[in-house]
Amino acid sequence: MPNLKEIRARIHSVASTQKITSAMKMVSAAKLKKSEGLTMSFLPYRNKLSEALSNYLSALEETVTIPLAEQREVKRVALVAFSSSSGLCGVFNSNVIKLFRTTYEGYAGKIGPDSIEVVLFGKKIKDYAAKNGIAVTEAHEGLDATLSFETAAALADQMVERFLKGDIDEVVMIYNHHKSAAVQVPTAETVLPLATDLLPKGEYLDYIVEPSKEAFVNALVPKVIRTRFYSIMLDTFTAEHGARMTAMHIASDNANSLLQELRTQYNKARQNVITNELIDIVGGAEALNK
């Protein structure tokens, strides 16, 4: 059994760790609340824009050509993946890295690794790509440093331009979907070509547009794609802080349980020391009486 000094040192170490995990939990909870607020304020705009496009397309009797919705043979693909730049967030990074690996290997088997462009956000997934010899086209800091609508719009416009030129045939975004603070769902979502049949539908409206139907649709589609890019970034940013808050909550609870066990162990060891000292005193007194 460890002596009292060793147990006291362990109690001090675990208590210090618990203070750190509790502080990190509170920081992540504050960031989670802020991120959820951003998401909730942005969703109505994204949904209404998508509904307007979907409803208008449904109301048309003729077919409108939408270059960004063109389905063609996939010869080149762009994978855009997101991770955090720091750890202590449970399986958040390992799950998205596993999905990225599966998706990458799937496309590499079909079209070859030279036909895959990789755009990464976050240090953890960049480290994975470097360790496994995956060529990275673009590497960015984590969303803590880069999250903004301007960043999302610039990335979306870049992908739209390359899709229209025929440089890439498909864009897949790989991220963790925020279902709740305790649940993050690894997701691979194809954002280009745009699947117009999957857009949310609202109430039917009769639209009057100028200068033409195709000009209206093809001006609206890039805006819809920008909002999808930004909403995915918000989603994975929220998921990261939800995962970190949950991980730190579990770590704090485990530290508390360990502290209770160590204190019980300390009290038992201290009681044994006192009992042994009393036995020695009583034994010495009896020896003197003889």
pLDDT in tens, 48-102: 888 777 777 776 666 777 788 888 888 999 999 999 988 888 889 999 999 999 9
CA dist 246 → 79, 97, 176, 214, 239 (Å): 28, 20, 15, 48, 10
The reply to whether 121 falls in a domain is yes
Per-residue pLDDT at 195 = 80
The reply to whether 12 falls in a domain is no
d(CA 191, CA 160): 10
- Of all helices (H) and strands (E), which one includes residue 258? helix 213-289
Average pLDDT over residues 145-168: 90
The reply to whether 270 falls in a domain is no
Mapping DSSP to helix (H, G, I), strand (E, B) and coil, where does residue 188 land?
strand
The one-letter code for the residue type at 93 is N
The reply to whether 140 falls in a domain is yes
| Host domain of residue 136 | 26-246
- Closest by CA to 53, choosing from 62, 64, 43, is 64
Place of tokens 């969703």: 43
The reply to whether 285 falls in a domain is no
- pTM of the predicted protein model: 0.84
pLDDT tens readout for residues 3-61? 778 888 888 888 888 888 888 889 888 888 888 888 888 888 888 888 777 777 776 66
Show the beta-strand stretches assigned E in the chain: 77-82, 116-121, 138-140, 170-180, 183-192
Q: How far apart are the first and last CA of the chain?
A: 35
Supply the CATH number for residue 45's domain: 3.40.1380.10
List the single range of 1-5, 153-157, 250-254 with lowest mean pLDDT.
1-5
**Percent of all residues in the chain with a pLDDT value above 90, rounded to a whole number:** 34
Residue 97: other Cβ atoms inside 10 A? 22
How many domains, in total, are found in the chain?
1
The reply to whether 215 falls in a domain is yes
